[in-house]
C-alpha cells in the first residue's frame, strides 16, 4: 500500500504532528507514505514529493509549520471572494490523477480547512480514494468540536494580553489587540477571556463603539484606569461591514484594520490614550502546545485507520473527547460559529466582559 499526504491552506501549529501520526501508523502497517509539497500543487507536473520515513519524522512532533509546505493559492484554490466556492478545472484534476496513478498512490490524505476539504470532496466525487483531516486555527469547522492549532493560537493571544496589560497599566491606556477570526470569533473569545480582556468584539455579535466606551468609563469610575480590548478581524459595527485590507485579485480578500478603527473611535469617545496591536501571523507560528501535538498525532493515526477500513470520502472529527469521523460533505457544509446566547459568552458577560452589544 502506498498513500499520499498533503497540507492545504495556511500553515498551522500541529501539521507536523499529523505527519508524525500518519507516517508512524502507516509504517506499522507496512505502507509507504509520499508527502506532496505545497498542497495540491505538488500533484502537478509529474509530482513534487518526498518519501516520508519514520527516521525523517521522529523529531517533528514539536516543530511548528510543516515540513511539506502548504498553499492557499494556485490551481486548486476552491475559495473565491467572500466565502464563495468554485469547481477545480478538469484539466488540473486530470493532471493530478495522472500523477497519482503514475506514482501508484492508492489513497490520499488531505489536511486542510473548508477550502482544501472542498477540493478534497471534488477528488472523491470524481472517484479518487481520499480522506480529510481538519486544520484551522479559527476552530470554525462545524463537524468537529476542536481542530489542532486552535489551542496554540489562543495561547499566543493570552500571552500577548499578559504583556499588553503591564504597559496599559503603567500608562493608564486602552490597548486594542486585533486577532484572527474571519467568520468565527473563537480565538478572540477564548484568548480574550484567558488574557483578562475587559471587552471582546467578535463577528457573531455586531458591536457599538459607544457601548464599549461606556464600559471602559465605568471601569474608570471603579478605579481601573487601563483596559484591554480584543477585536477579531471579522468583527463588524452595528450597521457596518467588514474592514478589508486588500481586496486581492483572486481567492478571499484579506481582512485587517478593524483594530485601528476601534482604537481611534474609543480614544475619541473616552479621551484616553489608545494603542492598537495586530498579532497577524504570530498566531499561526511557533511550536504547537502539548494539546495540539497530541490532537494532531491522533488525527493522523485516525486518517490512516480510515484508509485501512476503506472508509473514503470522510474527515477525521473530534467530538466528546473521542476521535471519530464524518463525511467530508457534512464537514464543509456548516461553519462552527460562536453562539451569542451560549454558555461561554454568558459566562464572560457574568464576570463583566463587554461584547459591545
Which of the residues 48, 102, 114, 138 is marked catalytic? 138
Here the cell at position 336 is 462552527
Phi/psi of residue 167, nearest 5 degrees? -75, -35
Strand partners, 49: 36
Q: In sequence order, what DSSP letters do the residues of 62-130 get, joined into one string?
A: T-SS-TT---SSSTT--EETTTEE-PPPHHHHHHHHHHHHHTT--EEEEEE-HHHHHHHHHHHHTT--E
Cell of 318: 473530534
Round to whole Å and give the CA distance between 34 and 167: 49
Sheet of 199-201, strands arranged across: 199-201, 227-232, 174-179, 274-278
For residue 294, give the 3-state DSSP assignment. helix
CB atoms under 10 Å from CB of 224, counted, come to 13
DSSP states of 294-332: HHHHHHHHHHHHHHHTT--SEEEEEETTEEEEEEHHHHT
Query: Cβ neighbours of residue 337 under 8 Å, at least 6 residues apart?
Result: 140, 183, 184, 185, 203, 204
| Catalytic residue list contains 140 | no
Burial status of residue 90 (CB atoms within 10 A of its CB: 0-12, 13-18, 19 or more): exposed
Q: Which residues are catalytic?
A: 138
Amino acid at each position: 500500500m502506498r498513500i499520499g499526504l498533503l497540507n492545504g491552506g495556511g500553515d498551522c501549529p500541529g501539521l507536523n504532528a499529523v505527519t508524525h501520526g500518519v507516517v508512524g501508523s502507516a509504517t506499522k502497517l507496512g505502507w509507504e507514505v509520499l508527502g506532496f509539497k505545497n498542497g495540491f500543487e505538488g500533484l502537478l507536473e509529474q509530482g513534487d514529493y518526498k518519501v516520508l520515513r519514520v527516521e525523517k519524522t521522529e523529531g517533528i512532533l514539536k516543530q511548528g509549520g510543516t515540513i511539506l509546505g502548504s498553499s492557499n493559492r494556485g490551481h486548486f484554490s476552491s475559495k473565491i471572494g467572500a466565502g464563495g466556492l468554485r469547481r477545480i478545472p478538469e484539466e488540473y484534476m486530470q493532471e493530478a490523477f495522472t500523477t497519482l496513478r503514475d506514482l501508484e498512490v492508492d489513497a490520499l490524505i488531505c489536511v486542510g480547512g473548508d477550502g482544501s476539504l472542498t477540493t478534497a470532496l471534488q477528488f472523491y466525487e470524481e472517484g479518487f480514494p481520499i480522506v480529510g483531516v481538519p486544520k484551522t486555527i479559527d476552530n470554525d469547522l462545524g463537524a468537529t468540536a476542536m481542530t489542532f492549532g486552535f489551542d496554540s493560537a489562543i495561547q499566543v493571544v493570552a500571552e500577548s494580553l499578559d504583556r499588553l496589560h503591564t504597559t496599559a497599566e503603567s500608562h493608564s491606556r486602552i490597548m486594542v489587540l486585533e486577532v484572527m477570526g474571519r467568520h468565527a470569533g473563537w480565538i478572540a473569545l477564548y484568548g480574550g477571556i484567558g488574557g483578562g480582556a475587559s471587552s471582546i468584539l467578535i463577528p457573531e455579535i455586531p458591536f457599538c463603539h459607544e457601548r464599549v466606551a461606556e464600559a471602559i468609563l465605568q471601569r474608570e469610575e471603579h478605579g481601573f484606569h487601563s483596559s484591554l480590548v480584543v477585536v477579531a478581524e471579522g468583527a463588524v459595527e452595528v450597521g457596518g461591514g467588514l474592514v478589508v485590507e486588500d481586496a486581492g485579485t483572486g481567492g478571499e480578500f484579506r481582512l485587517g484594520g478593524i483594530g485601528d478603527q476601534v482604537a481611534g473611535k474609543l480614544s475619541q469617545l473616552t479621551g484616553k490614550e489608545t494603542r492598537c496591536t495586530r498579532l497577524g501571523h504570530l498566531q499561526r507560528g511557533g511550536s504547537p502546545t502539548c494539546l495540539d501535538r497530541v490532537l494532531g498525532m491522533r488525527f493522523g493515526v485516525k486518517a490512516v485507520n480510515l484508509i485501512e477500513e476503506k472508509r473514503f470520502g470522510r474527515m477525521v472529527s473530534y467530538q466528546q473527547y473521542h476521535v471519530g469521523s464524518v463525511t467530508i460533505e457534512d464537514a464543509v457544509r456548516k461553519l462552527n460559529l460562536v453562539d451569542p446566547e451560549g454558555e461561554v459568552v454568558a459566562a464572560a458577560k457574568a464576570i463583566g466582559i463587554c461584547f459591545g452589544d
